Structure 1
Amino acid sequence: MNQNTEATSVKPLHSVPFLLLIGIFFVAANMRTSITSIGPLINDIRVELGLSNTWVGLLTTLPLFAFALISPLAPRWSRDIGTSKTIFYSLFVLLAGILIRPFGIGGLLFGTFIIGVAVAVFNVLMPSLVKERFPERIGLATGFYTVSMTSFAALAIGLSLPLAENLGSWKWSLVLWGVLAVCAMFAWRPQLKGMQKTVQIKQQKISRATMWKSPIVWAVTLFMGLQSFGFYVFITWGPEFLLSIGIPRTEAGWLMSIGQILGLPAYFAIPFFVDRSKDQRLITLMACLITIGGYIGLLSGSSSLIMIWLTLLNLGQSATLGLTFILFAKRTHNAVQAAQISGMAQSIGYLIAAIGPLLIGGIHDLTHTWTTPFLVLIGSALFMTVTGYLGSRDRYIESSFE
């Protein structure tokens, strides 16, 4: 076993669990809104800027490339300046990205990438923070911030188009989400004063060689990547698919939003079962099969049953998303290791996910139907089922070869 250690433990100067939860709630609220708000506005952006579907897909792909680039660096920044400060500074980066996006094609693309840089830090450090601050309630704490993340992501999907219509431009609709970033800055600020490094506890790190050779790490990484592949494809192209089967434009955005909300029960159910079991294989298998059922239903193209299929898909995607964050903590011994596996898994995983919106946009441009794109999604979900099953076994990284 690797004996590299690192002092990361922190002790609160005063007990502020409520303020910590409020801070986590608002940071999580910013983890998807600036990305999901793009989907309902794709048609407006495409028409005004004269972009193809492939180029529009880049708007969702750029943050994913940023996730892949920044994820391995976030644990190092956290160790150097502390988790609380890293999250706080990243909120400023997020706000900068939001404010840059209205300035032409260049601003839209660069701002979107900058947003991805900030969100990458949140993605990596949240599981580590949960592992450190809520070691006995990993599932419950993970469910708390994923509910916030998904709820606001759904809100962004539903409100983006009405905001654009009322404010007169898709640009103002995107900028308005900067208010949520400012709220998160104020909510997180108490954590900068409330923590200091006072206790030096040695926590075993995982060597790079062990990380790259571990079957458990690769299973979790591929599960995470394939889950994100499906999620970001549907967030990007779901509204366009709904339009193609006769759903009115405004209604399509709200159906996407309501579907996300209907998936929320999964975030409450998953922690209940996870905190009571060491092995998550059955839970993972069920979540993946529900996701596949949603895709198959949507592939049928029946608008009369659309709410059923959207509910199934969102329940499955919500459950698998919650499981990805939980597995980062469950497969490791401490917060340092959780940050390590989170960084590696999200770096490689989001490279996989980044292919999705571009690939599906390109396939749709070539075929002018949604049949082939959905067959690709079903195939990726089947592979996700296998990797999730393997990564959900009751094993830690170091024991993956035993």
Structure 2
Amino acid sequence: MEKLDENGLNKASRTLLLIGVLFVAINLRPALSGIGPLIEFIQQDIAISETLLGLLTTLPLLAFGVISTITPLFTKRFGIGNTLTGALILLTSGILIRSIGGIFSLYLGTILLGIAIAFGNVLIPALIKRNFPHKAGIVTSLYSGIMSFGAAIAAGLSVPLVVELNLGWRGSLAIWAVLAIIALIIWIPNIKRINRTPPRRSFKEAMKKLSGSLLVWKLALYMGLQSLAFYVVLAWLPAILIDRGIDASYAGWMLSLSQATGIIGAILIPIWAGARKDQRLVIVSLIIVEVLALIALMIPQLGLMELWVGIIGLVLGGSFGLALLLIVLRSSDAETATELSGIVQSIGYFIAATGPFLAGLIFDLTEVWNYSLLLLILVAVLKLIMGVGVGKDQKV
């Protein structure tokens, strides 16, 4: 008789669950990364400023901040499987609403898909802790890697979908609803593979305990600063490169390059970090490389733009995967992982939400993108301070 794990699943069931998780994961970035390369097309059709366009990236992050905290309320009532199913339905609806009308639909759909993605962001680390605790590094690398893959594909295809297939910016954004529907079909059979267990404590008790932990705040700040840098690059890298004379299509592919190298980082870094009890060396190494690449990007005369963009993508992708892994490693059990993931990502994404808006505002005021890149260097220094604290082997 085949041996079952602690959740009552055999190897085949665990594999199918992992496939379902990865199909959910690949949907957590295309709706966001596809917007950056289309900024100029949207602005030509709807006359709004760079600052307001930055809200198209900021609004989902605000939704992440609000919804992440209360996600455990949904899982305690409906379970992880049902909550993720609802999130995929909402994601599909948000993508379609964003693509069908004018300014109101654009922003409403953006908020809805942001809410949906927030659920996925919080719940997948909890699922990893619950169903794959002994392979957290490898599974996190797969999860974060495929998220980066989804982001890279969307960033690279957005402009070609507009120009070569003549879909317009609305059609280019709407196409990702197909991927969400496929994920929903694959995910639904996995609901029965996730046994619901009664919660050990109330949502209020959990938040009181976690909010009083210095480690939780350091982890939240590390997550937030990492995400701030990621979303500034996601929102504004094409605009930065276009400002330096690169055409829109190539700038879109440069963003795609950063997301593609992010896949490598998201796969390799969690495996490296997961094999160690102490992650401080990993954190310090990533930040040194990140700062060097940002400085190089500020000096166009150095050339090798593709190299610096690729390195920044590699580091940010790796830092993202590492942040997710730290949530798993610092949790004592799956319920704590859900609660910790919620509070860390809530605080973190509220911080991250300021990034695209601030970067756009700084450019509006100065008309020099290097000041926005200087902001990212400052963020990296703060991230180093927080990272040294969360890299130690300890539990919440």
Q: TM-score range by the shorter chain?
A: over 0.9
- Secondary structure of the residue aligned to 2:267 is helix
Q: Is 1:203–1:336's contact at 8 Å kept on the other side of the alignment?
A: no
1:123 equivalent to 2:139? Answer: no
Show the counterpart of 1:143. Answer: 141
Find the aligned partners of 1:201 and 1:364 in 2 and give their Cα distance: 48
Distance change (3 Å), C-alpha of 1:237 and 1:33: same
Give the SS at the match of 1:369. coil
Amino acid in structure 1 at the alignment position of 2:215 = I
**1:88 and 2:81 are equivalent in the alignment:** no
User: Can you list the C-alpha shifts for 1:47-93, whole angstroms capped at 9, x where unaligned?
Assistant: 21100000000000000010011001111211211111110111000
- 2-side partners of 1:293 and 1:271: how far apart? 22
- Which residue pairs with 1:132 in the alignment? 130
Separation in structure 2 between the aligned mates of residue 306 and residue 136 of structure 1, nearest angstrom: 40
Q: Show the counterpart of 1:296.
A: 295
Residue equivalent to 1:272: 271
The structure with the greater share of residues assigned to helix is 2
Separation (CA, whole Å) in 1 of partners of 2:241 and 2:261: 17
TM-score normalised by L of structure 1:
0.92
Q: Give distance in 2, aligned partners of 1:330 and 1:196.
A: 22
Maintained 8 Å contact 1:204/1:336: no
- Aligned partners of 1:67 and 1:347 also within 8 Å: yes
CA contact (8 A) 1:291 1:314 kept: no
5+ residue gaps, structure 2, are 1-5
Query: Does residue 28 of structure 2 align to residue 31 of structure 1?
Result: yes
Call closer, same or farther: CA 1:358–1:248 in 2, change over 3 Å: same
Query: Contact between 2:29 and 2:150, CA under 8 Å: does it hold in 1?
Result: yes
Say if 1:14 and 1:371 are closer, same or farther in 2 by CA, change over 3 A: closer
Offset of residue 203 of structure 1? 8.6
1:38 alignment partner AA:
I
Checking the alignment, whether the CA contact within 8 Å between 1:88 and 1:185 is kept in structure 2 is: yes
- The amino acid across from 2:40 in the alignment is N
Shift of 1:268: 2.7
CA contact (8 A) 2:274 2:325 kept: no
| Per-residue deviation, 1:18 | 2.3
For residue 166 of structure 2, what is the amino acid of its counterpart?
L
- Partner in structure 1 of residue 227 of structure 2: 228
1:112 aligns to what?
110
> Is the 2:266–2:319 Cα contact (8 Å) retained in structure 1?
no
Aligned-pair RMSD on alpha carbons? Answer: 1.9
Aligned-pair CA distance for 1:10: 4.8
Cα distance, 1:122 vs. partner?
0.3
Once the two structures are superposed, the pairs formed by residues 97-246 of structure 1 within 5 Å of their partners are: 97-102=94-99, 103-165=101-163, 166-197=165-196, 207-246=206-245
Q: Report the secondary structure of 2:69's partner residue.
A: coil
Tell me how many residue pairs correspond in the alignment: 388
Taking structure 1 as reference, are residues 303 and 30 closer, same or farther at Cα in structure 2, changes over 3 Å only? Answer: farther
Alignment-derived partner of residue 373 in structure 2: 374
Query: Structure 2: which amino acid aligns with 1:264?
Result: I
Structure 1 position 193, deviation (Å): 3.2
- Identical aligned pairs, as a percentage? 37
- In structure 1, the partner of 2:3 is none
Q: Does 1:75 align with 2:93?
A: no
Residue range with higher mean Cα deviation, 161-170 or 258-267: 258-267
Q: Cα–Cα, structure 1 residues 48 and 201, in superposed 2: closer, same or farther, change >3 Å?
A: closer
Residue 393 of structure 1 aligns to a residue whose secondary structure is: coil
Pair 1:178–1:207, CA change in 2 (3 A): closer
Take 1:350 and 1:268, find their aligned partners in 2: how far apart are those partners? 22
1:40 aligns with 2:41: no
Q: 2:263 matched to 1:260?
A: no
Which deviates further from its counterpart, 266-275 or 337-346? 266-275
Please state whether the residue corresponding to 2:191 is helix, strand or coil: helix
Normalising by structure 2, what TM-score? 0.94
1:28 and 1:167 mapped to 2: Cα distance?
A: 28
How far apart are the structure 2 equivalents of 1:185 and 1:170?
Answer: 25
Looking at structure 2, the residues matched to 208 and 272 of structure 1 have their Cα atoms a distance apart, in angstroms, of 30
How far apart are residue 392 of structure 1 and its match? 1.1
User: How far 1:271 moved relative to its partner?
Assistant: 2.9
1:15: Cα distance to partner?
A: 4.4
- Unmatched segments (≥5 aa) in structure 1: 1-8, 398-402
